[in-house]
Amino acid sequence: MHDAMIDEAQPSSGPRRRFGILSVMAEVNDAALRFLVLSLNTIQDRFEFEFIPFDSQDQMLIGLRSNSPVDREDIRNGCAAFQERQFGVFRRRAEGYLTKELPPDRIIVLSTVRFSDNFYSLRCDRISVIALGNWKRSMAPPSILEFILTLIVREVIASVSPRLSGSVHVGTKGCPCDFTPSLDEVRQKVLSSYLCQYCRGALADDGVRETIPDIEKMLAKSWIGSPDNSSSVAAITSALGHDLFLVKGLRPTFWEGFLVTLRQEGSKQMITMTASIVAGIIVAALLLLLGLKK
């Protein structure tokens, strides 16, 4: 379930609203995840995503790496102190490197922890936590990275619209604001890429109608492209080790890795195989000819 509690959302301000992404997903292909999330920056103009430094030994983050179920309310109760610590980490790092940009507007923490009440997200003040501990390979397609993309967009919507910052509609429409009682039902809103009429109206009523085209661009997934196009996001993500169309889990199995390699190197292997076969035929023919001459 996603978080049903309504937390205060701040209105959009400035040309781009910034989201700091903090991943404690140890098993995920971090390079592919980062590339895919940061690609969102290139397809729209109102939201900006960045991976930010963090203290891996922070008490809350240690809890979000737990292999055992975690109490969601314990995490919520610790969010205010974590927010202060995390922005402190950001400021100290910025001062150390003499950089000038201020911390992002909101922090989204990606985790594979499982909340004990089976909710899969929470938001409090300027912190969002996405908990994918209940995710299973059987939920693919879409891939877990596409799940993450859609759930990040869901946090974007909540941050700009108070009306959409809690549970929104009980019907499953394939909209990012569907109230889905279990994580496996989230796949419908990942696959559908649809911002429903109710949510479009709520965004307009909250004075952020201008964000709708940007939200729809991020949801559309058409920007991912095909792995057969070497310059597409899908192909580059595959080259980084996570093929969105073949890999079902956090990391590829041996068989999935083989299929990825076969697709990436298929034409080269075909040429090599053909050359080997032709060479074998020539050698066999020469041996046969030499044998006949004897």
Q: What is the mean pLDDT of residues 106-130?
A: 94
| 234/212 Cα distance (integer angstroms) | 24
- pLDDT for 6: 36
For residue 9 the two structure tokens come to 């959302």
Least confident of 18-27, 89-98, 198-207, 253-262: 253-262
Residue that wins the pLDDT comparison between 180 and 266: 180
Going by pLDDT thresholds of 50, 70 and 90, the confidence category of residue 268 is low
| 28/23 Cα distance (integer angstroms) | 9
Q: Say yes or no to pLDDT of 1 above 70.
A: no
For residue 45 the two structure tokens come to 């103009």
The beta strand positions in the chain, using DSSP E, are 17-23, 47-51, 106-111, 121-124, 127-131
- Write the pLDDT tens digit of every residue in 199-228: 999 999 999 999 999 999 999 989 999 888
- pLDDT for 180: 83
User: What secondary structure does DSSP assign to 33-96, as a single string?
Assistant: HHHHHHGGGGT-SSEEEEE----TT-HHHHHTT-SS-B-HHHHHHHHHHHHHHHHHHHHHHHHH
212, 107 contact by CB (below 8 A) = no
Going by pLDDT thresholds of 50, 70 and 90, the confidence category of residue 116 is very high
Residues 6+ apart with CB under 8 A from 172: 178, 180, 185, 188, 189
| 126/96 Cα distance (integer angstroms) | 24
